[in-house]
Amino acid sequence: MPELPEVEITARLLSAALAGATVDSARAPGLATMQTFKPPLDALAGATLERIERRGKMLLVWFAGGGLVTDEDPEGRAALLIHLMSAGRLQLFEKRATMKDRTARIVIRLNGGADGFEEERELRLKEFGTRQSAWGRLLRAADVETDERLSTLGPEAWPDTPSFVAAAGDASPGDGPPLALPPRRTLRGALRDQRVIAGIGRRWADEVLWEAKIAPLRRAGDLDDDERAALSAAIRSRLDEGIAGYVEKLKLPLKDKMPVPERVHGRAGEACPRCGDTILAVHYESDEMAYCPTCQTGGKPYKDRRFSRLLKD
Ligand SMILES: [Zn+2]
């Protein structure tokens, strides 16, 4: 599940390697992957890859020139917006993809780059599993900021982490821009909603709420000033730490499996690294919410349907 820290490091590493590379060809063997057809993906041929950025949990790969040049757009600037969803990865390969690579969704062949590599390489959006949910859209530069996937994003969770306020219009109590979370939503739901705050998903929501010692299913509107400050500080420190850990560990080529820096998410049954109590989880259809009852819920466990079912059987 690539979230802000994983996507941030992917963007940094690929950008450092590929800035200045020239596109030889671009195609999308994943049939459902490309969401736009104007400009077409093959217009990238001859263009220069300028840089790769992160927006929330998405990637923006900027290009200029080549087949993107038109009368209206003489510089031919465009960006490929990519969402990795839950099982996608953007990876760099030195060998050409064989046609049998069923995980390849978008394949961009490139020559050169900032790292001085001389052979042809491939930037590949791959997706593991049989579902095709990762997607890309190629947007003219003028259309990037107004694209609904970007224009509806909330403020970035990092590095300029918002300072949470009780109500919209309140002055910021901290360094970051003021942000009022929707009061009736649960904290875990609000933090994962990209339109509220951008970059956090299920893994890092669990990490952040554990760090702040706040119960994940509390209503956002029920927090007091100290808790709101603790939540803001926890987002900043956990994401800082996550990214710093990746900077040390990750190099190109990026592996299929990203390292797991979690203290609580995915660790149900293990000891809480802070208090030693057993970490519990609530299971949803395609999600698992982990928390420490001693640190976060006053010692009271949440009901878990799967767990209750096991007891009944
Ligand atoms: Zn604990």
Three-state SS sequence of 66-80: HHHCCCCCCCCEEEE
Q: What is the Å distance from ligand 1's center to 235 Cα?
A: 18
Instruction: Work out the pLDDT band at 125, boundaries 50, 70, 90.
Output: very high
* pLDDT for 313: 44
Q: What is the Å distance from ligand 1's center to 106 Cα?
A: 43
Query: Is the Cβ–Cβ distance between 296 and 306 less than 8 Å?
Result: no
166-179 pLDDT, tens per residue? 999 999 998 899 99
Query: Is the Cβ–Cβ distance between 44 and 23 less than 8 Å?
Result: yes
Q: What is the Å distance from ligand 1's center to 301 Cα?
A: 12
* pLDDT for 307: 58
Q: What is the Å distance from ligand 1's center to 291 Cα?
A: 8
Query: Is the Cβ–Cβ distance between 53 and 15 less than 8 Å?
Result: yes
The CATH number given to 163-312 is: 1.10.8.50
* pLDDT for 253: 85
Instruction: Work out the pLDDT band at 153, boundaries 50, 70, 90.
Output: very high
Rounded percentage of the chain residues whose pLDDT exceeds 70: 96
Q: What is the Å distance from ligand 1's center to 231 Cα?
A: 16
Cα separation, 221 vs 234, in Å, equals: 18
86-107 pLDDT, tens per residue? 899 999 998 766 667 889 999 9
Q: Residue range 225-240: average pLDDT?
A: 97
Q: What is the Å distance from ligand 1's center to 297 Cα?
A: 10
Q: What is the Å distance from ligand 1's center to 260 Cα?
A: 19
Tell me the CA distances in angstroms from 33 to 7, 110, 181, 189, 210, one per residue in order.
19, 20, 33, 27, 36
pLDDT over 90 (residue 286): no
Domain map of the chain by residue range? Answer: 4-151, 163-312
Q: What is the mean pLDDT of the chain?
A: 93
Rounded percentage of the chain residues whose pLDDT exceeds 90: 80
Class of the CATH domain delimited by 4-151: alpha beta
